[in-house]
Amino acid sequence: MTLSAAQKREITRQEYNANLAECPGHEVLATLSDKWVTLIVDALADGPLRHAELARIVAGASQKMLTQTLRKLERDGLVGRTVTASIPPRVDYELTPLGHSLLPIQRAIKTWAETHIEAVHHARDLYDTAEGQDPPRATPRP
């Protein structure tokens, strides 16, 4: 079947529209929305770090979660892993050029979260209070 130029453009547009369920961008968005990804990318902004150094900076991440997240970032081309032959072997992680291109976006999200946490907590309190009063549900939520 032959497609017109307009049909080809529409197919291409839909292939990478993250709002569409079949878009491969969904996988990337899932990775980027992970809080550990944001914190690790931010931690690696100033240069390579070893696993133990990352664990100290990214407080709350278990060794398993940190390792899984680093592997995911390495697989996606955002983090590079360098093994130096020594006893014990030295392993350093650093942002790749692709990872560095993500840094301003991830930092903006992190800064927004830090700046607006009180407003979010206030909104949650209001919501939870209203939920406890069992408000009418006639109007659908957006």
pLDDT digits 0-9 by tens, 19-77: 777 777 778 888 888 889 999 999 999 999 999 999 999 989 999 999 999 999 999 99
Binned at pLDDT 50, 70 and 90, residue 15 comes out as low
Task: Count up the domains in the chain and report the number.
Answer: 1
Q: What is the CATH number of the domain that holds 86?
A: 1.10.10.10
Helix (H) or strand (E) holding 93: strand 90-95
According to DSSP, residue 141 is labeled P
**DSSP structural state of residue 75:** H
Of all residues in the chain, the percent with pLDDT exceeding 90 is 54
pTM of the model: 0.73
User: Which residue, 40, 65, 37, is CA-closest to 53?
Assistant: 40
Q: How far apart are CA 98 and CA 103, in angstroms?
A: 9
With respect to residue 14, please indicate whether it lies within any of the assigned structural domains. Answer: no
Residue 79 is part of which domain span? Answer: 20-131
pLDDT at 2: 82
